[in-house]
Amino acid sequence: MSEKDLLVELKRVLNDYLGNVSSTESVFIATLDGHLLLDRSRFEHPLGQVSPMAGSVLGISETLASQLLKQTLQDNIVIMDKNILGLFKVQDKEDSLFFGVICDRLVNLGKMITFAKITTKEINKVLDEQNLM
């Protein structure tokens, strides 16, 4: 699979999420250090600014979970007045990627999380097929 095919396949995975969770406004894949790799959106969000801060939130949350509470971070959900931001670790081999979701505040949270878990597995599958896992 070429790099172009990889991007097409990852876009398909992101579009599938948008198709399954109708209250979703934006989805993206980024590195934990904040580099936005790919996004799909129904609404304009400053994802180039969101992804570095989201990566920092995940990093702080991981530190809190592991060092203070002796647990492993699974996900991070940030609830705001108009939106919910979901951050889900992709669990790639370098542990450097995450999947972000921005939804309307009235989203079915269980559905958002369930499909985010499915999507991270699909991202893993695509990366694994490229020996990037």
Extents of the domains making up the chain: 3-127
The residues, any chain, with a CB within 8 Å of residue 110's CB and separated by 6 or more, are none
Domain 3-127: top CATH class: alpha beta
pLDDT in tens, 9-56: 999 999 999 999 999 999 999 999 999 999 999 988 999 999 999 999
pLDDT in tens, 105-120: 999 999 999 999 999 9
- C-alpha 12: how far from its chain's center? 14
- Name the pLDDT band for 133 (thresholds 50, 70, 90): low
- Name the pLDDT band for 3 (thresholds 50, 70, 90): confident
What pLDDT is stored for residue 9 in this prediction?
Answer: 94
* 99: phi then psi, degrees, rounded to nearest 5: -110, 125
Q: Above 70 in pLDDT, residue 1?
A: no
